[in-house]
Structure 1
Amino acid sequence: MWLHLAVLVGLFCLLRWYRERQVVSHLRDKFVFITGCDSGFGNLLARQLDLRGLRVLAGCLTEQGAEQLRSQTSGRLQTVILDVTKPESVAAAAEWVKERVGDRGLWGLVTNAGILPPAAPNEWLTKDDFSKILNVNLISLIEVTLSLLPLIRRTRGRVVNVSSPAGRVSLFGGGYCISKYGVEAFSDSLRRELSHFGIRAVLIVPGKYKTSIFPDNTQDVLEGIWRRVSAGVKESYGQKYFEDYCQYFHGLTAKGKENLSPVTNCMEHALTAVYPRIRYSIDWDSKCFSFALSYLPTSEADFILCHML
C-alpha cells in the first residue's frame, strides 16, 4: 500500500515538474506592463524580463526612477510616469500602453505598486490613513486592471497581482491588511471570470523582503501617530502598550530578506509558463505561519496573535 502511494506521489510530482517547465512560445513578441518599477520587486522584474527578451513597459512614479531603470536595461524597455492614485495618470498610462502594443495586445500585467504605512492599532488612525493605503494597494490595482483588460483579452494573457500573508491573517491594524484581503477577493473573482477567455489570473504572495514598502523609520512613524492620538485614547492604552506595539511591529517588518529574486522568479514563471500556478506562496513564513493561522479556529489564532504583542 505504502509503495503504491509513494509511486502515485512520485508520478504526481514528476507530472507537475514537467508541466511547470513548459514555456510560452514567441516571448520576444510579447508586451508586459509592470507598475511600481522605481525600486523593489517591480524594478528587478523589469530588468529580469528585459534580459529574457520580453518587451517590458514599466510604470515608474518618478522620472529619476525611470531614468535609472532605462540606464540598466536594453532599448526594448520603455517607461511611463504613473501615479496609480490619480485616475488621470492611470488613464494616460493605459492609452500609452495601447499605443505601444497596438493590435498585438498586452500579454501580461503585473500590479506591483503598493505601500504599508501608516499602520497602527485601528483606534489610533483616521479615515484618511485607511484611504491612503486602500487607494494605492486596492482601488488603483482594480483601476489599472480594468483599464488594461481589453488589451489582455486580445492575447489571452496573464494578470499577476501581488498579495501578502496579511491577506489571510490581519497581523496589525490599518489599511494594509484590509487592502490585501481585498486583493485576494478581487483576484479570486477575476480568475474565475477571465478563465472563460483563457486568461490566467495569478496571485504572488511574498514573505518578508527588504523593499521600500517597509520604511527604515518605522519607530518615527509610530511615534508620529502616537503624538496625534487624543489624550483619552493615550490614557486608555498607556505608554507600555505603545512601547510593546512598537517592538511587535518592528519585529514584523524588520530583517527582511535582501535577495528579491525568489519573488521575481515566481513572477517571471507566472508570465512565461504555459501552466502557471494559481497562487505562488513564497518562503516558509508565508506558507506556514499565516497559512496555518488562517486555518486554526479563530479563538486559537487570536490567542497566538494577541500574545505576540
Structure 2
Amino acid sequence: PWDTLRNHSAYFFFPWTPGSTRPFVQPVWRIVLWAIAYSGIVIVSVVGNVTVIWIITAHKRMRTVTNYFLLNLAFAEASMSAFNTVINFTYAVHNEWYFGLVYCRFHNFFPIAAVFASIYSMTAIALDRYMAIIHPLQQRMSSTGTKVVVGVIWILALLLAFPQYYYSNTSQFPDRVICYIEWPDLMGIKNRKHSKYYVCVTILLYFLPLVVMGCAYLVVGLTLWASEIPGDSSDRYKEQLTAKRKVVKMMIVVVCTFAICWLPYHVYFLLYQFFPDMFEKQFIQQFYLAIMWLAMSSTMYNPIIYCCLNDRSVNI
C-alpha cells in the first residue's frame, strides 16, 4: 500500500506509485526521446572523463595538486554515469526493478558516495587555490598529502552512503518488483528519522560545500582581479597572474554548473520528505525525469569546460 511505501523512500529513485498499479505509462515515442537524452549523457560523460583521466595520468607535468583532485572528480563522475544513469532512467520509466537485490543495494549506495567525492574534490581544489593565492609563502600540499585527502574523501563518502546500502531491499508485488529503502521501525512506531538523514545528506552534498567554495572563490577572485598588472612587470609575472585567473575562472564555472544542475533535484527530494502527497500527480514522472536528467548531466560538462577554458600551456 502507498501509505507503507512512502516511508520507504530512496534518495536517488523516483517515488513509487500507489499500490502495485502503474498509472505513469508513457507513449513509446516519449520513452525513446528520454532514452536518447540519457544515453547521450553516458556517452559524453564516460568518453570525456576517461580522456581527462588519461591526460592527467599519462603526462608527468600534469600531476599537480589541482589535477589530482580533478582526476578524482573525473573518476567519480564517469563511474556514476556508467553505473547509475541508465539504470535509474529504466527504473523511473518502468517503475519496476529488474536488477536484483545486490545491484539494488549498490544503486542506492553508490550515487551518494560518488556525488560526495565529486563535490568535495571541488571543495579541496577551492581550498588549495585559496592557500596558493592568499598565502603563497606557505608550503603547498604534497603529492602524498593529496592522495591522503582523496582517500579520506572516499572513506567519508562511503560512511555517509552506508545507511542506504544497509537498509536497501526489494519486494515482489503482483505485477512488479520494487527496490527501496526499508528504514527500521522503533518500538512499532513508524520512524521518520530518515527524513533527517536526507536533510543531512542534502546539506553535506550541496549547501555546505557550496558555501565553503563560494567564500573561498570570493576572496580569491577579489584578490586576483583587484591586482592590476603593472606596465613594467616582467612577462613571467604577467603570465603567472593570467594563468591563475584562468584556473580560478574555470573552477568557478565548474562549481556553478554543478550547483545549477543539482539544485532542482535536491529541492525535489526535500519537498518529497515533508509533502509526499504532492508527488502522486500524473505529471510528476515527466518532471522527475527532467530534473534527474539535469542532475545526471552534470557528469558530462566538466571535460567540455576544461577544453574550452583551460590553456594547455598552463600547468594547473
Same fold (TM over 0.5): no
TM-score under structure 2 normalisation?
0.30
TM normalised by structure 1 equals 0.30
Higher Cα Rg, which structure: 2
Q: Greater helix percent: which structure?
A: 2
